[in-house]
Copies of this chain bind each other. A is one copy, B any other.
Amino acid sequence: MVKVAVVGASGYTGVELLRLLAAHPQVEISCVTSRQTVGEEISTLFPSLRGKVNLRCDPGDPELVAAKADFVFTALPHQSAMEVVPSLLAAGRKVVDLSADYRLRDVAVYRQWYQEHTSPELLAEAVYGLPELHREQIRSARLVANPGCYPTSVALGLAPLLKQGLIDHPSLIVDSKSGTSGAGRSAKVGSLFCEVNEGFAAYGVGRHRHTPEIEQTLSQLAGEAVRVNFTPHLLPVNRGILSTCYATLLGNHDSAALLALYREHFRGEGFVRICPEGSLPNIAFVRGSNFCDIGLVSDQRTGRVIVVSTIDNLVKGAAGQAVQNMNLMLGFAEDAGLGGLGAFP
């Protein structure tokens, strides 16, 4: 049993990591940290864990964490993550970082969308942890930057089209909708039940921080710079992301042909499911699971393809993908601890 730590366990990503790791056959959760609740039982914060995860919160000092665990998940806000990750690596620990701090290759882009980076030398080393795109590099990585939730849904949804050069990228538009757990567990008026429930709105239009991450991955796939409109919206559900992507097709490709291409592209990928023609994904069917479900329609009237991609933002969009990365980094079966189906309804 490998001893693993979850640094920053008091948020929604943290508790989801603990849920998944508690059911993982090859690891033992040996340390959970939460600055604000040091000394408290983690199951007091999250009674869902009671009886299975019996640990008290430690402070987040990297030395302590490195002493207690062989493998570390950092589930901290950006900026906080880069305060601890270098020390954890220096102590010889492998790390999956779930923040945005090591996702962007270009430190100038990071500075522009976030702030100054304090360990830019690690950007070159960090591997972007989307196993369906970078599996081999992940296997040998010390530091994996776990992708953002929106970017995961978009990259998987568009990879086959961009790889094959079937779309005109300047036409790309991504209209995404996310469940509220993506906004985190901090007490803000905008995240109150009565503000979100029975409501729906776009936010961060033209300036959401996942934009450069999306463009970085799509550009790699396309082999040239891709620029997109990315518009996130807040959904009144706990979990789930659905991205509706629009692009003008180069040449005539009907839905059946494109779906065949997608099935071929993702053949052997255990966590990507392609919907049959005439069927589209629903966040309800991936809830709690590590699947990414993708459907599409080729609209002959307008010459556009509409791709719809869904994930559970806390699983394939965060904790599940992090465990998938850990499995690769530690040589476990890639789906160890991740075999659960979504609970519908």
Contact = CB atoms under 8 A, between A and B. Distances in A.
B191 A48 contact: no
A135 interface: no
Contacts of A275: 47
Contact of A341 (B48, B198, B242): B48
A236 B193 contact: yes
A239 interface: yes
A138 interface: no
Interface string A177-221: 100110001111101111111111111011000000000000000
B342 A194 contact: no
A50 B235 contact: no
B284 A199 contact: yes
Contacts of A171: 171
A290 B63 CA distance: 38
Interface string A8-37: 000010011001001100000000000000
A229 interface: yes
A286 B227 contact: no
Given A194-B181, A273-B51, A280 B341 contact: no
A238 B293 contact: no
A240 interface: yes
Contact of A203 (B195, B229, B280): B280
A280 B238 contact: no
A299 interface: yes
A145 interface: no
B202 A287 contact: no
Nearest to A274: B50
